[in-house]
């Protein structure tokens, strides 16, 4: 099941955003959505019946001026957004995910995941975590790992909680969408390779993050983060020029109407430019790829309340719109 957006534009910044839509059971197509909630089929407007969002991103520098013109030109035939299903806005080849990138969030997790035999007080554990964060920032070492595109789902789609996931949790994140091949770029030039931004909710099963059969192996991101639908994405790609500075965007996640996460990107240890640059030192980032930049404090482990059947998550980031996803237990 998929629900419709509660408002036409869901408050995205700038004159237009991009999405991937479908009508009934028709094929997916890339679309321009304006502030009035009107949809322009970019296959028609750009004269390419085979056009996809990834192709648009591969041609981003030349296509962006045409998108600006199309947004301002009301002569092209448009249809209301309510006629369509909103899908994940892009199918990336690679997803680069960031862990431990919000100071308060990392401190909370450090306390929540400590060994039960640890006799220190919470204050001592938090002080240790704060010291670790300060050292990481000083040494300039972000933490990046790889996610699977098969985990993506649309911003209004139901999310199935697998029967094996004992502790499913939410993680609202700002995601950068790459618009040019990027390899070994510096932080100073990294944002030139970002076409736009979108919303990601990087669901995680806390029970399987660490391998219990052999703790020395460390984290198991395949098992804990990559179930089908575990990464609701979108609704829109908002051009970077419409967002501007990403250093003070508010991330808010509500669970059944109650605010759980409500933090600014100011709490990031490493900013977007640093994350993109760091990922590009080891791998070549390709147009359409995603760089998720970590999640702020307020996840389920912090509240002692994890996801269960029937829960509804509403996620928003300044200028990027909002998601609304319902959780269904696999048995249901």
Give me the pLDDT at residue 32, please.
97
Whole-structure pTM value: 0.92
**Which residues of the chain are under the pLDDT cut of 70?**
1-10, 113-114, 332
Residues of the chain with CATH 3.90.850.10: 95-329
Model pLDDT for residues 203-261, shown as the tens digit of each residue? 999 999 998 888 888 899 999 999 999 999 999 999 999 999 999 999 999 999 999 99
Please state which of the four CATH numbers 3.40.50.11540, 3.30.9.10, 3.90.850.10, 3.40.50.1980 is assigned to the domain occupying 95-329: 3.90.850.10
Query: Could you write out the DSSP letters of every residue in 145-184?
Result: EEE-GGGEE-TTB-EEE-TT-SSEE--EEEEEEE-S-BSS
Return the bridge partners of 254, or none. Answer: 259, 314
Q: What does each C-alpha distance from 329 to 147, 183, 309 come to in angstroms?
A: 22, 41, 5
pLDDT on residue 221: 92
* Burial of 27 (C-beta count, 10 Å sphere; 0-12/13-18/19+): exposed
Contact between 194 and 176 under an 8 Å Cβ cutoff? The reply is: yes
């Amino acid at each position: 099941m998929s629900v419709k957006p509660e408002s036409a534009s869901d408050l995205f910044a700038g004159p237009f955003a991009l999405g991937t839509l479908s009508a009934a059971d028709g094929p997916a197509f890339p679309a321009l959505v304006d502030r009035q909630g009107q949809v322009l089929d970019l296959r028609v407007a750009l004269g390419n019946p085979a056009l996809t969002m990834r192709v648009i991103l591969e041609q981003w520098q030349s296509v962006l001026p045409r998108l600006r013109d199309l947004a301002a030109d009301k002569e092209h035939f448009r249809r209301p957004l309510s006629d369509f299903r909103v899908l994940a806005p892009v199918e990336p080849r690679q997803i680069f995910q960031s862990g431990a990138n919000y100071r308060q969030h990392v401190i909370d997790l450090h306390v929540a995941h400590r060994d039960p035999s640890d006799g220190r007080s919470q204050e001592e554990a938090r002080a240790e975590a704060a010291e670790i964060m300060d050292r990481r920032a000083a040494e300039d070492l972000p933490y990046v790992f790889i996610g699977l595109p098969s985990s993506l789902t649309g911003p209004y789609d139901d999310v199935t909680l697998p029967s094996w996931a004992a502790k499913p949790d939410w993680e609202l994140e700002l995601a950068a969408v790459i618009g040019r091949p990027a390899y070994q770029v510096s932080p100073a030039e990294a944002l030139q390779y970002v076409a736009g931004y979108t919303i990601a909710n990087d669901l995680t099963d806390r029970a399987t993050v660490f391998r219990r059969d052999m703790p020395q192996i460390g984290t198991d991101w395949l098992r804990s983060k990559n179930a089908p639908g575990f990464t609701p994405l979108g609704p829109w790609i908002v051009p970077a020029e419409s967002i501007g500075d990403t250093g003070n965007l508010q991330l808010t996640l509500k669970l059944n109407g109650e605010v759980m996460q409500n933090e600014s990107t100011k709490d990031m240890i490493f900013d977007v430019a640093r994350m993109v640059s760091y990922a590009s030192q080891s791998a070549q980032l390709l147009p359409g790829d995603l760089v998720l930049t970590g999640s702020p404090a307020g996840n389920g482990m912090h509240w002692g309340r994890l996801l269960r059947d029937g829960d509804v998550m509403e996620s928003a980031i300044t200028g990027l719109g909002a998601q609304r996803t319902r959780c269904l237990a696999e048995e249901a």
